Amino acid sequence: MAYVGYYINLDRSADRRAVMDAQLARLGLLERYRRFAAVDGDMLGVTNPKLTTGELGCFTSHYRLLQQNRDSAVHLHVIEDDVVLAGCAAQVVEQIATSAMIDDHDLLFTDMALPVDFKFYREARIRYERQIRRPGNGTAPTIRFNLFPYISCMASYLVNRRSIGLICDILGHELERGATDPIDVLLRAKVAEGKLRAKCLFPFITSVLPGKFASTVVRGARDQLSDFAVDVVRHSFFVDCDPTATLGLAEQRLAGPDAGFHGRLFALVLGFMTSDAFRQP
């Protein structure tokens, strides 16, 4: 076995645990993935006005999981409890864990939050349509994977077993001196500094279901419909995305007669700008 999986779950989130266990059972992965009890708030005495209690809890949970597996003989796949796994996810992770790809990275994310940037959406759409071939005869799709620069989110990532100590040292040092950035922002900064090697696999082999669960890591006032809009774009680049269901959900939640002139105009213009027909003026 080249890797072992963990899903992070708060004791008070019994509904998420039930959904995750049912998913793992359906995919035959109950023996491969184990539950890790998340930290509700901060257990290490770290306080900082720049981080919310949820952000500190998230930071500490990921750190403690890695610290407990510091001497692991196999690679780790860490997921949060609102993650949906593609049918091929375990197979792809196993292939990565036994290939040279894992040796080139300390962390390899399997999906991430996306920037609100139509140019990024256009590039991702082009890659997605080119890299997935879905034959009409019922056989499995053919998928070519490549890598995007890591942006943010800790929903799902593969950890090189030889890098666990390095990552623990980075996170532990930050916690000791008083963490001021969320864990994903810190890791992105360390990648930019050349202290960590991390990328994101694309298309995504994990995702979140738009509107299914509210985030347990909240920063300030959040608008649920805005979160949904961002999540539905992210989900559209999931290997197992159901285009009909996803489009129907987006039309149900986001479309409306009150969009106004510019709202309707922008929908048409941005749709064209992300198509193959658009040429940069």
pTM for this predicted structure: 0.90
Q: How many domains does the chain have?
A: 1
Residue type, 38: A
Structural domain contains residue 171: yes
Q: What is the DSSP letter of 208?
A: E
Structural domain contains residue 11: yes
Q: Which residue has the tokens 């193959």?
A: 276
Between vectors from CA 239 to CA 216 and to CA 198, what angle results, nearest 5°?
Answer: 65
Q: 146 pairs with which residues across the strands?
A: 202
Q: Where are the alpha helices (DSSP H) in the chain?
A: 14-26, 53-68, 89-97, 100-103, 118-131, 164-177, 183-192, 224-236, 243-254, 260-273
Structural domain contains residue 60: yes
Structural domain contains residue 261: no
Structural domain contains residue 61: yes
> What is residue 43's predicted lDDT score, i.e. its pLDDT?
63
CATH number, domain of 78, equals 3.90.550.10
CA 62/CA 83 separation, integer angstroms: 15
Q: Which helix (H) or strand (E) element contains residue 109?
A: strand 107-109
Structural domain including 134 reads 3-252
Structural domain contains residue 169: yes
- The per-residue pLDDT string of the chain (281 residues; one tens digit each, 9 = 90 and over) reads 899 999 999 999 999 999 999 999 999 999 999 999 998 866 656 666 678 888 989 999 999 999 999 999 999 999 999 999 999 999 999 999 999 999 999 999 999 999 988 889 989 999 999 999 887 776 667 899 999 999 999 999 999 999 999 999 999 999 888 888 999 999 999 999 999 999 999 999 999 988 765 555 554 556 788 888 889 999 999 999 999 999 888 888 887 667 777 777 778 888 888 888 888 77
Structural domain contains residue 278: no
> What is residue 279's predicted lDDT score, i.e. its pLDDT?
83
Would you say 2 and 74 are in contact if contact means Cβ atoms under 8 Å apart?
Answer: yes
> What is residue 29's predicted lDDT score, i.e. its pLDDT?
97
> What is residue 260's predicted lDDT score, i.e. its pLDDT?
76
Cβ atoms within 10 A of the Cβ of 229, count?
16
Report strand pairing: 107-109 vs 198-202.
Answer: parallel
Cα 162 from chain centroid (whole Å): 22
Q: What is the DSSP letter of 39?
A: P
> What is residue 280's predicted lDDT score, i.e. its pLDDT?
76
Structural domain contains residue 91: yes
Look at residues 69, 79, 99, 92 and name the one whose alpha carbon lies nearest to residue 33: 79
